[in-house]
Amino acid sequence: MDNNVDLLLERAVGAGHVSGVVAMAAAGGEVTYSGGFGSCPTGGVTPDTEFSLGALVRPVLAVAALRLVDAGLLRLDDPLDRVLPELAGLRRLTGFDAAHEPQHRPVKASVTLRRLLSHTSGLLPGTGTGPGAGTGPGAGTAAGGAGTAAGTAAGSVAFEPGTRWLYNADPRPVGRVIERVSGRPLADWLRAEVFEPLGMRHTGLDGAGGSGDAVGAGGADGLAFYSTPRDYFAFAGAVLRGEPALLSRHSGDLLRRNQIGSLTAPRVLGLGPVRMPSEINFYPEVRLYPAAARKWSLGFMLTVEPVPGGPDAGSLTCAGGRGAYCWLDPATGVTGLLFARCAPGGPDRTEALFGEFQSSVYAGLGSGRGHGRRRRSVFESLFQGWSSDVWLTWWPM
């Protein structure tokens, strides 16, 4: 596989599709490929080059929050307005009157950590991230900031929490929850609870010890996250293995299983149900595996059908915007990533490059792929791992 992938990546750089690219893959716990080609402003691109990874921070935040759950400091299905008072009194847009003024209605359901991490909270970008979302032991109380009243007045959701799936690109509410519950700045908590245990010495939030030379497309809204391919690969491998030093077995399963019940993440960008721009349901993985039905875990897109020439059913994928992709395939024990720096001024062709790399990885497995493992049916993939509380939430009463 090495020669084929080398040629694939070299051609992408030579054709000007990317200026630099790194790819890594492993199967059965053994690294099967690691290579980098091209350049960035600081020199040649290697597995130790820092990249700005955008939405690839989502699984990291999910793990950090689940560590608080494992510690008994947070519960997945408790209303989060107990932690973030600015989420109290949320309202839902119901339409417009004759004077074109927006009409709102109070919501009945609560925003919970499960709904926040699985994009079923209905929160619109910016809600729950205003002033007063500070840190420290007292930050979780109503006295934690003057932004409570303002957040309540301005806070709105696109729908009743738990009734739809709508991607929220703003990771700050999860970060606020972690800060309030832990009583520590988010960057410090991530470093101590996730990065240091996994040996991720070149990963963090901008302004929290990075070199400032990370390349890529920039951070997610409000959180500039950087890492190296080698560091992030260690994180992905730990999640795939269910590393007990990172998460309990139960929390690890939650991260790898369907958490949105009968709801689905759209396969294509659709504008039919959109009433306002913030409801456009675009997410970084939307164009990957267009033929496969997809669900959502607490940090990854979950495909419930095998991808021809690619991951098996139950695979987990995360994309960080332009040029950053990672996937985990529990059924075959395969994981991999591709980080690329798009050529300045050129079209984004990294999705196609990621697909070709992924196909090369699985082609290299040969006839031994999936040996000794029974492929789950679509029905099993949909519902395996559901806890009793999820069944009670989604099964018609």
pLDDT tens-digit profile of 91-119? Answer: 987 777 899 887 888 999 999 999 999 99
In tens, the pLDDT along 51-82 reads: 999 899 999 999 999 999 999 999 999 999 99
Give me the helices (H) in the chain, please. 2-14, 57-70, 113-117, 147-154, 172-182, 186-190, 229-241, 249-256, 350-363, 378-383, 388-394
Helix (H, G, I), strand (E, B) or coil at 64: helix
Share of the chain above pLDDT 90, in %: 60
Q: Give the tens place of pLDDT for each residue, 241-284.
A: 999 999 999 999 999 999 999 998 988 766 556 565 556 667 89
The residue ranking higher by pLDDT, 137 or 337, is 337
CA distance 366 to 159: 46
- Residue 234 β-bridge partners: none
| Confidence at residue 215, expressed as pLDDT on a 0 to 100 scale | 57
Digit-coded pLDDT (tens) for 204-247: 998 544 444 555 544 344 679 999 999 999 999 999 999 999 99
Tokens of 152: 């309540």
Across 190-270, where does the E strand assignment appear?
204-205, 215-216, 225-227
State what percent of residues in the chain have pLDDT above 70: 78
Order of all β-strands in the sheet with 215-216: 204-205, 225-227, 51-52, 215-216
What integer pLDDT is reported at residue 374 of this predicted model?
37
Q: What is the pLDDT of residues 301-322, one digit of tens each?
A: 999 999 999 999 999 999 987 7
Instruction: From 126, 113, 117, select the one nearest 165 (Cα to Cα).
Output: 117
Beta carbons of 50 and 215 less than 8 angstroms apart: yes
The candidate with the shortest Cα–Cα distance to 365, out of 334, 327, 340, is: 334
Is residue 100 packed enough to be buried (19+ CB in 10 Å), middle (13-18) or exposed (0-12)?
Answer: exposed
Q: How far apart are CA 173 and CA 206, in angstroms?
A: 18
Q: Which amino acid is at 270?
A: G
Cα separation, 329 vs 150, whole angstroms: 43
Query: Greater confidence, 329 or 158?
Result: 329
The domain ranges of the chain are 2-394
Q: Give the tens place of pLDDT for each residue, 86-98.
A: 898 899 877 778 9
The 10s digit of each residue's pLDDT in 344-382 is 777 788 999 999 999 999 998 874 454 333 344 444 444
Best CA proximity match to 334, nearest among 29, 35, 60, 36: 29
CB-based contacts of 149, cutoff 8 Å, min separation 6: none
CATH superfamily of 2-394: DD-peptidase/beta-lactamase superfamily (3.40.710.10)
- Candidates 144, 89, 148, 83; CA nearest to 116 is 83
With beta carbons less than 8 A apart as the criterion, state whether 317 and 285 touch.
yes
Residue 228's pLDDT is 97
